[in-house]
Amino acid sequence: MNVVLSETEEYRRIKGKHGEPEKEQKRMLGMMLLRGDSVVNLTAEAPPPAQTRIPVDPRGAMRNAPVSGPVPAGLAPPPSLKAPPPPFRPK
């Protein structure tokens, strides 16, 4: 199973030279996809962010659709509205 992460941060430890203390470097990676065969262990450090719900109109998505009238003469209906061809019948 693949894992998709958003707002990913990478923390790296850099060894100091000749007795200097170890440093930690942080960089933003953004969105990242990890292949499932490379994932060994997964730990969540924070809960997912709270999402605000968008109110849904009970009438559905067609509430603002325009109402069309008859097709004017000379205009053909789109191909998706034409009748399907008759089934093939061998003679």
Residue 34 in any domain: the answer is: yes
51-71: b (≥16 Cβ within 10 Å) or e: eeeeeeeeeeeeeeeeeeeee
pLDDT recorded at residue 25: 92
Residue 19 in any domain: the answer is: yes
pLDDT recorded at residue 39: 87
Per the structure, the complete domain to which residue 10 belongs is given by: 1-40
Q: Please tell me the total count of domains within the chain.
A: 1
Q: What is the mean pLDDT of each run of 10 residues along the chain (91 residues)?
A: 88 87 91 89 79 69 62 64 70 69
pLDDT recorded at residue 84: 67
Residue 72 in any domain: the answer is: no
Residue 23 in any domain: the answer is: yes
Residue 78 in any domain: the answer is: no
Residue 31 in any domain: the answer is: yes
Residue 71 in any domain: the answer is: no
pLDDT recorded at residue 24: 92
Q: What share of the chain is helix, strand, coil (3-state, %, to 5)?
A: 10, 25, 65
Residue 85 in any domain: the answer is: no
pLDDT recorded at residue 26: 94
